[in-house]
Chains A and B, each alone.
Chain A
Amino acid sequence: MSQKFRNLTGGNISRESPLDFRFNGTLYQGYQGDTLASALLANGVRLVGRSFKYHRPRGVFSAGPEEPSALVQLGSGPLAEPNTRATQVELSANLEAFSQNCWPGVNLDLLSINNVFSAVLPAGFYYKTFMAPRRLWPWYEKMIRKAAGMGTAPDQADPDHYLCSYAHCDVLVVGAGPSGLMSALAAARTGASVMLVDENPAAGGWLQRERLSMDGMPGANWAESIWQELTDLPNVTVRARATAFGYYDHNMVAILERVPGGNDKDLPSQRLWRVRAKRVVLATGAIERPLIFANNDRPGVMLAGAARAYANQYAVRAGSRAVVATNNNSGYLTAVDLADSGIAVAAVMDSRSSVDHTLLGMMEERGIPVDIGHTVHDTRGGKTLGAVRSGATDVIGGSQWMDCDLLAVSGGWSPAVHLHAQTGARPVYSTEIEAFIPGPSKQAEQTIGAARGNYDLEGCLNEGLRAGRQAARLAGFDTPDEDSLSLPETNGETLPYGQEAFWQAPRPGKRSKQFVDIQDDVTTLDIELAHREGYVSVEHLKRYTTLGMGTDQGKTSNINGMALLARLRQEPIPHVGTTTFRPPYTPITLGALAGGETGASVKPRRYTPMHAQHQALDAVFAPLGLWMRPQGYPRRGETMHQCVQREARAVRSAVGLTDVSTLGKISLRGPDAGEFLNRIYVNQFSSLPTGRARYGLMLREDGMILDDGTVTRLSEDAYFMTCTSGNASGVLQHLEYHLEVAWPELEVDLCEVTEQWAAVALAGPLSRGVLQRLCPEGTVDAVRLPAMGAVDTTVAGIPARIIRISFSGELAFEIYVPSSRGGELWDALLVTRDNTEVTPYGMDALEVLRIEKGFIGMGTEADGRTTAEDLGLGRMLSKKKWFVGQLALQRPGLNHANRLKLVGLTPVSPGDELPEGAQVLAQAVATGPGCSIGHVSSAAHSVVLGTAIALALVKGGSLRSGDTVYLADPARGANETIAARVTYPCFYDPEGARQHD
């Protein structure tokens, strides 16, 4: 199909660069410089989509970001992008777009039956109707969501990639229309660093859409020349296709830049800029409002400025025969431009009672009849507009039908105060232009031009110049009074704004649909209903009727809706106010917010110094915080369970080796280090002899356990602390806080050395023999290195610190060496000279050994709600000194008899497993919520007992020893409870003889 609505000349498009594209499968042609909307209109495609609720036919309504109805899905499969505005989609070769919210197709949409039943689908219908029965709600919801769709989100990973960047500048100018261009130029001339962004591919804003001459050239060319001048300046950055969508704290503006050719592998498809500017100038323009009359939503009804934009910028006739309805002078410029582009303009309907005679002269010249005091009351047509019914503004329903396929409407212009309002500033209502204009600034921002309600070109240029200079001055740059910068000479048709509010034509029938919000299918009836039912606050009105929701956030509908509500409330519009303006200004792809932080790049990964050794042993890795740690080292044909049992058994009966490099390690030094540790830990540390280690417990200020670990005294004033791997950063912060903020008088230096030391635990009855052969004679014998002893020595020639600490209950040694030699140490310990088999073991075996011994785990038993007393560690609490958390332990609730306390569990029937996380019941059958007396905190299969074992937190604790309790695990689908016996929470060598050997 040829572009039969395209003029042969004019417009800012490249006719020498035709582009093929497909819409709903049909092949069309447009030109470089088109938007999808202008290309569709050029091809006579007027029906673009179906409406949200009633599935009424809808077409292109605007020519910019305010578009409420021409929403399309771009592409298909994983690249599909729903809800894009056809008015903002740049036409590109082989672009593919689809209508959305229609089934089976846009021409025959079976769900348009909703339109027939609309009388029973008023505002709040879903809330009122689908109340009961409650259990059916998930089904209702599914059906409603299917019918009221906003496109379909792709269900595969997005193959595009995105980039997030930060930028800084002295002056950020948003919008490259006449005000913004002058502002950026003026600021740039002072030497300030300037960034100028515009959401469109080319500069100029409305200059693209007017037929004005500036400095002797078309406005668009003038804009292009200024843009080029700015591009060439070293202190200026310009970004086209970049939408400033959010204004955040302390002058940070978020900008989304669409990158042309961004489907290329090397380029991101979009860039998210976080720009921190000393000053911001907002020159974001104004958005036209529609008029409200019956059936004002048919394809062919369009904002007057948009019809004009299609004629001037794209050389597209948006129809063949047009009627213009307006309440301000800008409608006449539309009539002139439409007529000059070859559209027959049948009439101008002006709702005002009197009109300037120059306007009438312009119309007379072109033979366009003007009906003063008239407006459009109704329209008819099928899938596109066929005729409008006009008449005097006070004649209900109008009087005369006129055939036309384009109705250009202008209900006045609203400044785009969105970014200004996002700063927390409150727009104020101007009765002069009947719109909200910027109020006092809350951030280092100034809003200028049409965005301030200044609709006069020369005024805008002037304002831009002054604002640019002022912004630079406030950012600290000299702005000499004498400036070579002068305003461009302009000529062409400019008119005063001259609007007179006309909010709503009389409704012709009781149930006629006069749409206020075209995107959300909100009519004047809905607003009246909401008001009747008491939703008189503008925020409630929005939630109840959905007015101003959706992808356009009411850019064309909000002011009209508020004006209608004000009339119903019989109050002036400022009393009704606006809803809150929130980012984003236009919808943002979630991928752009994530940037590069997707998949494996979300978090950094930490590897221990022995990682290569683990890989060589075919370890199965599991994440522990950011660390990758071996879970086990399964042999061929072995299940993970068999592997873990074998590894744990090897430690109990022979010797095992595990990587504990992930332990948090902190070095402390200074004369007050002992005192500091005394305050931090519940037990005494200043009395610890040099060369000895001690297990310690630290609390939060509220008395709950924060962490456990060991401290080794290296010399009079030096200590070496280890803490739980997952808690390392929290513990460091806890220590730093107390040293720097609470007790700065203490002389202690601390340094985190987690990554400086590689560490292993060598555990099992044969461990001493293995280690002794690698150390200087006698270093690790029972006398020279007793339990909890520490020594600095060498292992296999590597400088090492050995501490006799056991986390397995066996004779064990923790060996610390410099990180760079971790792999060497691992190899030396694993391949012994006398063929003793040293078994590498992973986190899961470590867990089995821990649970058998009843040692507490951070996050399992010490879950942030348990005290030392709860976990049977009350004897550690020193009574001789003060420590963090001590006083809070006196709270009565922490000493209540009913607290959950640590116990052990074994199955009554030996074959049963004890599920981790299960609830503990006193009876075999759950009697309802609240019958739980505790929960299983850790569970394992014991290698020494050959049955399941568990640690649990149970009300009453050891008072229940010997009792039978029942474990319920309904969340994982278990219907029957499992009987378990309460035991002492240590299943192996409770005296600790083995580790002290």
Chain B
Amino acid sequence: MQLFNCPWCGPRAHIEFTYIRDHQSVSTRGNGDDPDVQQELDRIYLRSNHLGPHQEIWQHSAGCRGWLRITRNNLTHEVEDCLPCQHGDAP
């Protein structure tokens, strides 16, 4: 069971957290911008699923409900860092 160091709660077992999505697929676009449909679909469906470190969005859903950006190696499960989702964290 992995251990995530929640910036608000300290180290907690991963069962307290929910994986939400890969950071690559986050869109911070709210409205108005001239959207490209293909770009939008690629963001949703065609993110890179490489071996190695990924930036992932997790929620401490059974804890403080805070939102984290975790850099985690999907091969070794090594957690490089575990940061709060900051304002304007566009991929």
Residues of A bordering B, CB below 8 Å: 166, 248-252, 274, 276, 424, 442, 678-679, 701-702, 733, 736-737, 740-746, 881-882, 887-888, 890-891
Contacts and interface: CB of A to CB of B under 8 A. Distances in A.
A702 B40 CA distance: 10
Interface string B31-68: 11001010011001100000000000101010001110
Contact of A252 (B1, B27, B76): B1
Contact of A249 (B2, B28, B85): B2
B41 A888 contact: yes
A733 B18 contact: yes
Contacts of A891: 41
13 contacts: A249-B3, A424-B76, A442-B76, A733-B20, A736-B65, A737-B67, A740-B85, A741-B20, A742-B28, A745-B88, A882-B35, A887-B41, A888-B40
Nearest to A745: B87
Contact of A741 (B37, B57, B65, B76): B57
- Which of A745, A887, A890 is packed against the most chain B CB atoms within 10 Å? A887
B61 to A, nearest CB: 7
Given A678-B31, A737-B57, A887-B41, 12 more contacts: A166-B13, A249-B2, A249-B77, A250-B2, A733-B20, A736-B59, A736-B65, A741-B67, A742-B27, A743-B28, A745-B30, A891-B41
A679 B77 contact: no
A888 B44 CA distance: 9
Contact of B1 (A249, A741, A746): A249
Contacts of B76: 424, 442
Contacts of A701: 27, 44
A697 B26 CA distance: 22
B81 interface: no
A744 B30 CA distance: 10
B30 to A, nearest CB: 5
Nearest to B86: A744
Given A679-B31, A737-B20, A745-B87, A887 B40 contact: yes
Contacts, number: 75
A890 B57 CA distance: 27
B57 to A, nearest CB: 6
A888 B25 CA distance: 14
A881 B44 CA distance: 20
A248 B15 CA distance: 14
A887 B35 contact: yes
Contacts of B80: none
A23 to B, nearest CB: 40
Contacts of B87: 744-745
Given A249-B77, A424-B76, A887-B37, A744 B88 contact: yes
A741 B70 CA distance: 13
Contacts of B3: 249-252, 276
Contact of A733 (B32, B45, B59): B59
Contact of A882 (B20, B32, B45, B59): B32
Interface in B69-83: 76-77, 79
Interface string B1-16: 1110000000001000
Contacts of A248: 1
Contacts of B85: 740-741, 744
B67 A733 contact: no
Contact of A250 (B18, B35, B40, B77): B77
A746 to B, nearest CB: 8
Contacts of B79: 250
Contacts of A881: 31
B67 A736 contact: yes
Nearest to A252: B1
Contacts of A882: 30-32, 35
